[in-house]
Amino acid sequence: MSDPVNLIANWLKTVLINWGVSPTWITVILSAIGVVVLASVVLVLDIFLVWVERKVVARFQDRLGPNRLGPFGLFQPIADVIKLLLKEDITPDKADKFLYNLSPVIALATVIMLWAVVPLAPTIFGSDINVGVLYIIAVGSISTLGILIAGWASNNKFALVGAFRTVAQMVSYEVPMVISILIPVILSRSMGINTIVHSQTVWYIVLAPVAAIIFLISSQAELGRAPFDISEAESEIVAGFHIEYTGMKFGLFYAGELLHALTLGGFFATFFLGGWRGWGVETYPILGIFYFFVKAFFMYWVIMWIKYSFPRVRIDQMLNLNWKFLTPLALAALIITALLDKLFQNASYSVYVLVMFLSNVILLYIAYLVVGSYARAERKRVADPEKIRVNFPIKSSGSTIEPRSTSEGAHV
């Protein structure tokens, strides 16, 4: 009874063998059933996430949130889905019809694909490929493509601007994100995600807190959530890339975004919080699912907490933060981790953990000092507009772009 999923799988296998199906086809059929079950569970979870999101937002804003339909408003998302299914589907005249319909499919499908490699429990996972991390990076970046397609195909200027901003943002933040994932790979010496979880006798958030923080910030940006929501800034470009989408197509984007948030929360839990690790998992693997989702939902909640607490950044601030701060910091963390790991790998494990933790804390403190001095310089610069040298008022497509000072050499 400890592992019902594999129990059912074995039972199905014996049934199929008794029917006289050839072993190759049994594997194919079982895998297909596994895929459908996983995708269905993920999508049902997704519908539930709408409720979680709305309820948590409401609490952050001192409201009650949905509370009419069913207990605690639990049936609200189901009503929403029915409403979206019955909405008229409008395609703009000049839109590229095929690409216009393709992009919401990409937006949701890639997120479902990501779940294939997430280990839910020691023995319960879709697939344990030995290049799982590369798979995550590869599939995760397809969603950027979906957004670019959406903005391009809509034939709307707001959508196009939103798409450009999104791509600049997601493409930029992918660099620190990938580097920060590289650190757990170094620590566990494997790209298999289940192996990474297995080797976390001490959670990697202790061994590599800098990488964890960078991963959290850049996943926030990858999601396009506030403070990095310039791609769909309501006050600037209405809704960004999905402005022309109605009905279920918009619903797919929305569902994809929510599910992506939970997925990245799940990846944070897997890489840094020990995934399914917890008390009693060795005897009852099914408990791993519980532990995994507790951690994933905790990180999802943290992502929402950040989203509803911070104001939006400008695009230049967003790019500065990434290229001038997060990327060098991530590279520094990578170098320090690589060196210290090699130097202390023969030391006792407690010494190793202590060295890793302290080096990260020192790095964080230096980063904090650098950010602090940059913030002071920036505040001074903004408070004293006389000093800003106007170099080149650029004319571009009818609008003047605000010139920026170039005399800000000495900062991060």
Partner 1 sequence: MLNDWLYIGLILIIAPIFPIMALIIPRILAPHKPSSLKSETYECGVKTVGETWVQFKVQYYNFALIFLIFDVEIVFLFPWAIAYHQLPLFAVIEGILFILILVAGLIYAWRKGFLEWF
Residues between 154 and 183 that touch partner 1 (CB under 8 A): 155-158, 160, 164, 167-168, 171-172, 174-175, 178-179, 182
Q: Does 93 bind partner 1 (CB under 8 A)?
A: yes
Q: Show contacts with partner 1 in window 107-146 (CB under 8 A).
A: 107-110, 112-113, 116-117, 126-129, 133-135
Q: Show contacts with partner 1 in window 215-244 (CB under 8 A).
A: 238, 243-244
User: Most distant CA pair in the chain: distance in Å?
Assistant: 85
Kind and range of the H or E run holding 38? helix 23-60
Comparison of 350 and 397: residue with beta carbon closer to partner 1: 397
Burial class (CB in 10 A: 0-12, 13-18, 19+), 14: exposed
What is the DSSP secondary-structure string of 209-260? HHHHHHHHHHHHHHHT-TTS-GGG-HHHHTTGGGTT--HHHHHHHHHHHHHH
Q: What is the DSSP letter of 115?
A: G
Choose, by CB under 8 A, the member of 36, 44, 369, 375 that binds partner 1: 36
d(CA 116, CA 4): 19
Q: Are 167 and 144 in contact (CB under 8 A)?
A: yes
Q: Show contacts with partner 1 in window 342-401 (CB under 8 A).
A: 342-343, 345, 392, 394, 396-397, 401
Comparison of 238 and 353: residue with beta carbon closer to partner 1: 238
Least separation in angstroms between CB 410 and partner 1:
12
Q: Closest Cα to residue 289, out of 9, 41, 74, 36?
A: 41
For the chain, the C-alpha Rg in angstroms (whole number) is: 24
Comparison of 182 and 286: residue with beta carbon closer to partner 1: 182
Map residues 308-337 to x or -, x wherever contact with partner 1 holds by CB under 8 A: -------xx--xx--xx--xx--x--xx--
Least separation in angstroms between CB 158 and partner 1:
7
Alpha helices in 127-208 (DSSP H): 132-140, 142-153, 157-188, 193-198, 204-207
Q: Show contacts with partner 1 in window 182-211 (CB under 8 A).
A: 182, 185-186, 189-191
Residue type, 218: S
Least separation in angstroms between CB 225 and partner 1:
20
Size, binding site for partner 1 by CB under 8 A: 95
Q: Show contacts with partner 1 in window 39-68 (CB under 8 A).
A: 39, 43
Crossing angle of the two packed helices 327-343 and 349-383, in degrees rounded to 10: 160
Comparison of 294 and 339: residue with beta carbon closer to partner 1: 339
Comparison of 220 and 320: residue with beta carbon closer to partner 1: 320
Q: Does 260 bind partner 1 (CB under 8 A)?
A: no
Comparison of 130 and 309: residue with beta carbon closer to partner 1: 130
Least separation in angstroms between CB 182 and partner 1:
6
Q: Are 102 and 145 in contact (CB under 8 A)?
A: no
Q: Does 8 bind partner 1 (CB under 8 A)?
A: no
Q: Are 272 and 204 in contact (CB under 8 A)?
A: yes
Comparison of 129 and 354: residue with beta carbon closer to partner 1: 129
Place of tokens 């590369």: 134
Least separation in angstroms between CB 168 and partner 1:
5
Listed ranges 89-97, 218-226, 371-379, 382-390: which one lies at the site for partner 1 (CB under 8 A): 89-97
Listed ranges 10-18, 150-158, 224-232, 269-277: which one lies at the site for partner 1 (CB under 8 A): 150-158
Q: Does 85 bind partner 1 (CB under 8 A)?
A: yes
Burial class (CB in 10 A: 0-12, 13-18, 19+), 56: middle
Comparison of 103 and 220: residue with beta carbon closer to partner 1: 103
Choose, by CB under 8 A, the member of 252, 273, 286, 299 that binds partner 1: 252
CA 20 remoteness from chain centre: 44
Q: Which residues pair with 251 in a beta bridge?
A: none
d(CA 253, CA 93): 21
Q: Is the peptide bond before 311 cis (omega within 30 degrees of 0)?
A: no
Q: Are 115 and 292 in contact (CB under 8 A)?
A: no
Choose, by CB under 8 A, the member of 10, 22, 31, 309 that binds partner 1: 31
